[in-house]
Every structure is written in C-alpha cells, then in structure tokens.
Amino acid sequence: MSLPSNITWHAGHVNRSDRERVLGQKGVTLWMTGLSGAGKSTIACLIEQKLIAQGKLAYRLDGDNVRHGLNSNLGFSPADRTENIRRVGEVARLFTDAGVIVIVSFISPYRADREAVRKKMAPGDFVEVYVKASLAVAESRDPKGLYKKARAGEIRGFTGIDDPYEEPTDAEITLDTEACSPEESAEQVIQYLQKGGYLQS
C-alpha cells in the first residue's frame, strides 16, 4: 500500500547514534519465536531482568500483552496473525531506532512474516532467537491449558495442532529448552549481545 502524497517523513535533529551514545548500548530487536509452552516469555523476562541489572535499557513486548491493547482488534486467522506481526515489527523497529534492546516474545508461526520484519531493519538490528521445544514437550508443559482446549476443539487454528509452525532456517540463536534451563538460555542471549558489541559502555 502506497502512502498518500501529502505524507512526508519529518527528520529530527537527534539521530540514532546520539541516543545510543546516551544509553551506552546499541539498539536491537531480539525476536523470540517458538511454540506455545516453549519458554519464550519466561526467558524473555529473565533477559530483560539481567539487562536492567547491568544498567542497560531493555523492554519486553509479549504476544499476549500486546493483544490487550495495540492488537486487541485482531483475531487468529492467518491474515490477522500476519497483521499482528507486522504491527509488532514496526513497534520493535521504533524501539530499536531509539537505542533500546527490545525483546519480542511471539509465537510468530509463519516464516514469511518474520522475514518481512527482518527485511525492514538494518543488518544486525534483527536477531532471531528460536526457542526450541518439540510439540510433545511444549504440550506436556501447557502452562495456560491451551493445548488441552485445542485438542478438545475449543480453540481453532492453534499453532502446532491445526495450524502450522514454521521453524526458523537461519536463526542467529537457537535455545534448546529441552536441554537448557531458562537461566542458561537467558545467559546464552546475554553472551551473544556482549560478543556482538550491543552492550557497549
């Protein structure tokens, strides 16, 4: 969709490098994808907590939380899921430009939707984090009781049951939550950020 001709980008006098210098860090989007029950939200909370403890500015965008406000008008059809990810991708891009380390924890089941977000960001700004767990393990955890409802036909179009989950093919980070604890997984992400120069002082 093209923009109306009367809309023009208005540049400011402060740029991204100015904001990052003030914050002492580089803005980045950590896009955590995986099945429901894989551990995304738990790990995201730990990452945010660890970064704040280091004096870094981080903010978490959680799939369920965002649907309480920004995306409250969207359902779970394929089209609505795509729009859900598009909107969150735009918000994450703004956070990243502001110099914030934004942690996005969304199932985001479709590979094309995740790639569309990546393509709108500069190289290095989008870090895909695959929170990996088999369907059997995720379903055995079932922290919200959603798999049980999906199996009973109470929820339609549930990822992993009657709607597909497309695993990442080139994620920067893979967290095997069947082999590692949430604490170990969060630390793996922190180490990636340190090595990548995102936590510059």
Distance CA 78, CA 27 (A): 30
Query: Rg (Cα) of the chain, in Å, rounded?
Result: 17
Contact 175, 188 (CB under 8 A): yes
Question: Which residues make beta-bridge pairs with 28?
Answer: 101
φ and ψ at 93, to 5 degrees?
-65, -40
> Which strands sit side by side in the sheet containing 28-33, from one edge to the other?
58-62, 101-105, 28-33, 126-132, 173-176
Name, in order, each residue with C-beta under 8 angstroms of 135's C-beta and a sequence gap of 6 or more.
Answer: 35, 160
**Catalytic residue of the set 108, 134, 140, 185:** 108
Catalytic-residue membership of 108: yes
Helix boundaries (H) for 98-134:
111-119
State CA 111 to chain mean position distance. Answer: 13
Question: Active-site positions?
Answer: 108
